[in-house]
Structure 1
Amino acid sequence: MLYRSLFPHDLMNEFGRLQRDLQGTLDGSPAIRGAGRGGYPALNVGSTPEAVEILAFAPGLDPAAIELNLERGVLTLEGRRAATLPAGNGAGGASGPAAAAAEVRQTVHTQERFDGHFRRVVSLPDDIDAAAVRAEYRDGVLRISVPRRGQTQPRRIPVQ
Protein backbone atom coordinates (compact mmCIF):
# COMPACT_ATOMS: atom_id res chain seq x y z
CA MET A 1 0.00 0.00 0.00
CA LEU A 2 2.99 2.29 0.41
CA TYR A 3 3.44 2.54 -3.39
CA ARG A 4 0.02 4.21 -3.71
CA SER A 5 1.05 6.99 -1.41
CA LEU A 6 4.36 7.53 -3.24
CA PHE A 7 3.08 7.28 -6.83
CA PRO A 8 -0.23 8.56 -8.16
CA HIS A 9 -2.59 5.92 -9.58
CA ASP A 10 -2.32 7.41 -13.09
CA LEU A 11 1.43 6.90 -13.09
CA MET A 12 0.99 3.18 -12.44
CA ASN A 13 -1.51 2.98 -15.30
CA GLU A 14 1.03 4.65 -17.55
CA PHE A 15 3.69 2.11 -16.56
CA GLY A 16 1.25 -0.69 -17.41
CA ARG A 17 0.44 0.88 -20.78
CA LEU A 18 4.13 1.34 -21.53
CA GLN A 19 4.83 -2.31 -20.67
CA ARG A 20 1.99 -3.49 -22.99
CA ASP A 21 3.24 -1.26 -25.80
CA LEU A 22 6.80 -2.56 -25.47
CA GLN A 23 5.63 -6.18 -25.31
CA GLY A 24 3.51 -5.68 -28.44
CA THR A 25 6.51 -4.21 -30.27
CA LEU A 26 8.75 -7.11 -29.26
CA ASP A 27 6.16 -9.74 -30.17
CA GLY A 28 5.71 -8.33 -33.66
CA SER A 29 2.03 -9.16 -33.70
CA PRO A 30 -0.96 -7.05 -32.76
CA ALA A 31 -2.88 -8.01 -29.66
CA ILE A 32 -6.67 -8.03 -29.56
CA ARG A 33 -8.05 -9.19 -26.21
CA GLY A 34 -5.00 -10.86 -24.85
CA ALA A 35 -1.57 -11.69 -26.13
CA GLY A 36 -1.22 -11.85 -29.89
CA ARG A 37 -0.76 -15.39 -31.12
CA GLY A 38 0.60 -14.56 -34.53
CA GLY A 39 0.35 -16.75 -37.56
CA TYR A 40 -1.66 -16.49 -40.72
CA PRO A 41 -4.46 -17.14 -41.18
CA ALA A 42 -5.95 -16.33 -37.77
CA LEU A 43 -7.77 -19.37 -36.38
CA ASN A 44 -10.70 -19.98 -34.07
CA VAL A 45 -10.96 -23.59 -32.89
CA GLY A 46 -13.90 -24.90 -30.88
CA SER A 47 -15.82 -28.09 -30.33
CA THR A 48 -19.30 -29.40 -29.74
CA PRO A 49 -20.35 -32.92 -28.80
CA GLU A 50 -20.87 -33.57 -32.54
CA ALA A 51 -17.81 -31.96 -34.17
CA VAL A 52 -14.63 -29.90 -33.95
CA GLU A 53 -15.12 -26.58 -35.76
CA ILE A 54 -12.19 -24.57 -37.15
CA LEU A 55 -12.54 -21.12 -38.67
CA ALA A 56 -9.60 -19.69 -40.61
CA PHE A 57 -9.88 -15.98 -41.39
CA ALA A 58 -8.21 -15.38 -44.76
CA PRO A 59 -9.91 -12.63 -46.78
CA GLY A 60 -8.82 -12.28 -50.37
CA LEU A 61 -7.28 -15.74 -50.50
CA ASP A 62 -7.87 -17.88 -53.58
CA PRO A 63 -9.49 -21.15 -52.41
CA ALA A 64 -7.38 -23.01 -54.98
CA ALA A 65 -4.27 -21.86 -53.07
CA ILE A 66 -5.36 -23.73 -49.91
CA GLU A 67 -4.19 -27.25 -49.14
CA LEU A 68 -5.77 -29.17 -46.25
CA ASN A 69 -4.34 -32.46 -44.99
CA LEU A 70 -5.45 -34.64 -42.09
CA GLU A 71 -3.04 -37.31 -40.93
CA ARG A 72 -2.94 -39.10 -37.57
CA GLY A 73 -5.16 -36.55 -35.87
CA VAL A 74 -3.19 -33.53 -37.11
CA LEU A 75 -4.88 -31.08 -39.48
CA THR A 76 -2.48 -29.05 -41.62
CA LEU A 77 -3.62 -25.93 -43.44
CA GLU A 78 -1.11 -24.46 -45.86
CA GLY A 79 -0.84 -22.47 -49.02
CA ARG A 80 0.42 -19.27 -50.56
CA ARG A 81 -1.02 -15.78 -50.57
CA ALA A 82 0.01 -13.75 -53.62
CA ALA A 83 1.78 -10.44 -53.15
CA THR A 84 -0.30 -7.35 -53.80
CA LEU A 85 2.63 -5.02 -54.46
CA PRO A 86 4.88 -5.25 -57.53
CA ALA A 87 8.26 -6.88 -56.91
CA GLY A 88 10.20 -3.62 -57.31
CA ASN A 89 12.86 -3.36 -60.04
CA GLY A 90 11.13 -4.71 -63.10
CA ALA A 91 13.49 -5.08 -66.07
CA GLY A 92 14.66 -8.60 -65.17
CA GLY A 93 18.02 -8.45 -66.93
CA ALA A 94 17.06 -6.66 -70.16
CA SER A 95 18.98 -3.53 -71.14
CA GLY A 96 18.46 -0.46 -73.27
CA PRO A 97 15.87 2.34 -73.39
CA ALA A 98 12.89 -0.04 -73.26
CA ALA A 99 14.26 -1.66 -70.12
CA ALA A 100 14.90 1.73 -68.52
CA ALA A 101 11.29 2.72 -69.22
CA ALA A 102 10.03 -0.59 -67.78
CA GLU A 103 12.16 -0.31 -64.66
CA VAL A 104 10.08 1.15 -61.86
CA ARG A 105 11.43 1.86 -58.43
CA GLN A 106 8.97 1.42 -55.65
CA THR A 107 9.18 2.46 -52.04
CA VAL A 108 6.94 0.64 -49.58
CA HIS A 109 6.18 2.80 -46.56
CA THR A 110 4.20 0.22 -44.63
CA GLN A 111 3.03 -3.29 -45.43
CA GLU A 112 0.69 -4.91 -42.92
CA ARG A 113 -0.97 -7.46 -45.19
CA PHE A 114 0.70 -10.85 -45.10
CA ASP A 115 1.81 -12.44 -48.35
CA GLY A 116 3.83 -15.54 -49.04
CA HIS A 117 3.74 -19.14 -47.82
CA PHE A 118 1.70 -19.96 -44.72
CA ARG A 119 1.19 -23.10 -42.63
CA ARG A 120 -0.99 -23.72 -39.60
CA VAL A 121 -1.26 -27.01 -37.70
CA VAL A 122 -4.10 -28.08 -35.39
CA SER A 123 -4.02 -31.22 -33.22
CA LEU A 124 -7.42 -32.90 -33.12
CA PRO A 125 -8.89 -35.26 -30.51
CA ASP A 126 -8.82 -39.04 -30.99
CA ASP A 127 -12.58 -39.42 -31.53
CA ILE A 128 -12.84 -37.65 -34.91
CA ASP A 129 -14.17 -39.16 -38.12
CA ALA A 130 -11.40 -38.35 -40.62
CA ALA A 131 -13.46 -39.62 -43.57
CA ALA A 132 -16.26 -37.07 -43.04
CA VAL A 133 -14.32 -33.77 -42.87
CA ARG A 134 -15.94 -30.85 -44.70
CA ALA A 135 -14.32 -27.55 -45.71
CA GLU A 136 -16.00 -24.50 -47.22
CA TYR A 137 -14.54 -21.09 -48.10
CA ARG A 138 -16.99 -18.20 -48.17
CA ASP A 139 -16.60 -14.44 -47.66
CA GLY A 140 -12.95 -14.76 -46.62
CA VAL A 141 -13.58 -17.42 -43.97
CA LEU A 142 -12.55 -21.06 -44.36
CA ARG A 143 -14.84 -23.22 -42.22
CA ILE A 144 -13.59 -26.73 -41.48
CA SER A 145 -15.95 -29.13 -39.73
CA VAL A 146 -14.49 -32.36 -38.38
CA PRO A 147 -17.30 -34.63 -37.11
CA ARG A 148 -16.84 -36.92 -34.14
CA ARG A 149 -17.52 -40.65 -34.49
CA GLY A 150 -21.02 -41.63 -33.42
CA GLN A 151 -20.02 -44.29 -30.93
CA THR A 152 -17.92 -41.86 -28.88
CA GLN A 153 -20.73 -39.39 -28.34
CA PRO A 154 -22.31 -39.71 -24.90
CA ARG A 155 -25.67 -41.42 -24.83
CA ARG A 156 -28.17 -42.10 -22.10
CA ILE A 157 -28.62 -45.74 -21.17
CA PRO A 158 -32.04 -46.54 -19.73
CA VAL A 159 -32.05 -48.47 -16.47
CA GLN A 160 -34.64 -51.26 -16.26
Structure 2
Amino acid sequence: MTDTTQVVERSQSAMAQRQQDKAAPTVTLLPAVDIVEDSSGVTLWADLPGVTRDKLQVSVHDGNLHIEAEAVVPTPSGLRVQHAEIHRPHFARAFSLSPDLDSTQIGAQLQDGVLKLTIPRREEARPRRIAINVA
Protein backbone atom coordinates (compact mmCIF):
# COMPACT_ATOMS: atom_id res chain seq x y z
CA MET A 1 0.00 0.00 0.00
CA THR A 2 1.40 3.40 -0.94
CA ASP A 3 1.42 6.52 1.22
CA THR A 4 -1.18 8.09 -1.09
CA THR A 5 -3.52 5.13 -0.59
CA GLN A 6 -3.11 5.32 3.19
CA VAL A 7 -4.01 9.02 3.17
CA VAL A 8 -7.13 8.35 1.11
CA GLU A 9 -8.21 5.51 3.38
CA ARG A 10 -7.73 7.62 6.49
CA SER A 11 -9.57 10.50 4.90
CA GLN A 12 -12.51 8.28 3.96
CA SER A 13 -12.49 6.80 7.43
CA ALA A 14 -12.55 10.28 8.97
CA MET A 15 -15.47 11.29 6.73
CA ALA A 16 -17.37 8.13 7.61
CA GLN A 17 -16.72 8.80 11.30
CA ARG A 18 -18.03 12.39 11.01
CA GLN A 19 -21.19 11.17 9.29
CA GLN A 20 -21.61 8.48 11.91
CA ASP A 21 -21.19 11.08 14.67
CA LYS A 22 -23.97 13.22 13.18
CA ALA A 23 -26.29 10.25 12.95
CA ALA A 24 -25.32 8.78 16.33
CA PRO A 25 -28.42 8.14 18.39
CA THR A 26 -28.67 9.40 21.93
CA VAL A 27 -27.98 6.57 24.36
CA THR A 28 -30.25 6.35 27.40
CA LEU A 29 -28.46 5.34 30.58
CA LEU A 30 -29.99 4.09 33.82
CA PRO A 31 -28.55 6.16 36.67
CA ALA A 32 -27.39 4.26 39.73
CA VAL A 33 -29.89 4.77 42.55
CA ASP A 34 -29.89 4.27 46.32
CA ILE A 35 -33.23 4.26 48.16
CA VAL A 36 -33.66 4.48 51.94
CA GLU A 37 -37.01 4.14 53.68
CA ASP A 38 -37.90 5.13 57.22
CA SER A 39 -41.06 5.99 59.15
CA SER A 40 -41.19 9.54 57.74
CA GLY A 41 -40.85 8.54 54.07
CA VAL A 42 -38.39 7.63 51.35
CA THR A 43 -35.11 9.26 50.32
CA LEU A 44 -33.73 8.50 46.87
CA TRP A 45 -30.25 9.39 45.60
CA ALA A 46 -29.56 9.15 41.85
CA ASP A 47 -26.07 9.49 40.34
CA LEU A 48 -26.27 11.89 37.39
CA PRO A 49 -22.67 12.89 36.53
CA GLY A 50 -22.37 15.95 34.31
CA VAL A 51 -26.03 16.94 34.74
CA THR A 52 -26.93 20.55 35.50
CA ARG A 53 -30.20 21.81 36.97
CA ASP A 54 -31.47 23.16 33.64
CA LYS A 55 -30.98 19.75 31.96
CA LEU A 56 -32.84 17.81 34.69
CA GLN A 57 -36.54 17.02 34.81
CA VAL A 58 -38.32 15.28 37.68
CA SER A 59 -42.05 14.64 37.38
CA VAL A 60 -44.85 12.57 38.88
CA HIS A 61 -47.72 11.25 36.78
CA ASP A 62 -50.33 8.63 37.72
CA GLY A 63 -48.33 7.50 40.75
CA ASN A 64 -45.08 7.13 38.80
CA LEU A 65 -41.95 9.16 39.48
CA HIS A 66 -39.91 9.99 36.36
CA ILE A 67 -36.32 11.27 36.28
CA GLU A 68 -34.86 12.45 32.96
CA ALA A 69 -31.62 14.32 32.41
CA GLU A 70 -29.03 15.14 29.80
CA ALA A 71 -25.39 15.42 30.77
CA VAL A 72 -23.24 18.27 29.59
CA VAL A 73 -19.71 17.10 28.85
CA PRO A 74 -17.64 20.15 27.96
CA THR A 75 -14.55 19.83 25.81
CA PRO A 76 -11.63 21.82 27.26
CA SER A 77 -10.48 24.68 25.05
CA GLY A 78 -7.70 23.78 22.67
CA LEU A 79 -8.75 20.12 22.59
CA ARG A 80 -11.08 18.21 20.34
CA VAL A 81 -12.83 14.92 20.87
CA GLN A 82 -11.14 12.09 18.98
CA HIS A 83 -13.55 9.38 20.09
CA ALA A 84 -16.66 9.43 22.24
CA GLU A 85 -18.81 6.36 22.66
CA ILE A 86 -21.63 8.40 24.15
CA HIS A 87 -21.90 11.89 22.68
CA ARG A 88 -24.87 13.19 24.64
CA PRO A 89 -25.45 11.06 27.72
CA HIS A 90 -29.16 10.90 28.49
CA PHE A 91 -30.37 9.47 31.80
CA ALA A 92 -33.86 8.13 32.44
CA ARG A 93 -35.41 6.18 35.30
CA ALA A 94 -38.97 5.62 36.51
CA PHE A 95 -40.40 4.35 39.80
CA SER A 96 -43.88 3.43 40.98
CA LEU A 97 -44.78 5.29 44.16
CA SER A 98 -46.67 3.64 46.97
CA PRO A 99 -50.07 5.27 47.67
CA ASP A 100 -48.94 6.03 51.24
CA LEU A 101 -46.32 8.48 49.89
CA ASP A 102 -47.26 12.14 49.38
CA SER A 103 -46.19 12.93 45.82
CA THR A 104 -47.29 16.58 46.21
CA GLN A 105 -44.55 17.21 48.79
CA ILE A 106 -41.47 15.79 47.05
CA GLY A 107 -38.28 17.75 47.75
CA ALA A 108 -35.41 17.73 45.24
CA GLN A 109 -31.76 18.82 45.51
CA LEU A 110 -28.96 18.47 42.97
CA GLN A 111 -25.38 18.72 44.18
CA ASP A 112 -22.16 17.52 42.52
CA GLY A 113 -24.03 15.27 40.07
CA VAL A 114 -26.15 13.59 42.75
CA LEU A 115 -29.91 14.12 42.82
CA LYS A 116 -31.55 13.72 46.24
CA LEU A 117 -35.32 13.29 46.34
CA THR A 118 -37.20 13.28 49.64
CA ILE A 119 -40.68 11.79 49.44
CA PRO A 120 -42.63 12.05 52.70
CA ARG A 121 -45.34 9.65 53.83
CA ARG A 122 -48.90 10.90 53.94
CA GLU A 123 -49.78 11.91 57.49
CA GLU A 124 -52.42 9.17 57.78
CA ALA A 125 -49.87 6.55 56.65
CA ARG A 126 -47.22 7.47 59.24
CA PRO A 127 -46.86 5.22 62.25
CA ARG A 128 -48.33 6.71 65.38
CA ARG A 129 -48.69 5.66 68.96
CA ILE A 130 -52.17 5.02 70.26
CA ALA A 131 -52.91 5.96 73.85
CA ILE A 132 -54.44 3.21 75.95
CA ASN A 133 -56.96 4.20 78.59
CA VAL A 134 -57.44 2.16 81.72
CA ALA A 135 -61.08 1.43 82.44
Q: TM-score range by the shorter chain?
A: 0.5 to 0.7
Matched-pair contact (CA < 8 Å) for 2:52–2:113: no
Equivalenced residue count is 103
Which of residues 112, 118, 128 is equivalent to 2:91? 118
Q: 1:140 to 1:118 in 2, by over 3 A?
A: closer
TM-score by length of 2: 0.65
What aligned pairs does 1:2-13 form with structure 2 within 5 A after superposition? none
**Percent identical:** 29
- In the alignment, structure 1 segments of 5+ residues that lack a partner are 1-38, 86-104
> Alignment partner for residue 120 of structure 2, among 128, 147, 151?
147
Local SS of the residue matching 1:62: strand
Residue equivalent to 1:49: 39
Q: Which has the higher strand share?
A: 2
TM, length-normalised to structure 1 = 0.55
- What stretches of structure 1 move > 6 A for 4+ residues in a row? none
In 2, the alpha carbon distance for the partners of 1:133 and 1:55 equals 13
* Unmatched segments (≥5 aa) in structure 2: 1-28
The verdict on how the C-alpha distance between 1:106 and 1:115 changes in structure 2, with shifts beyond 3 A counting, is closer
RMSD over aligned CA atoms reads 2.6
1:7-156 counterparts in 2 under 5 A? Answer: 39-84=29-74, 107-108=82-83, 111=85, 115-156=88-129
Offset of 1:157 from its aligned partner? 1.1
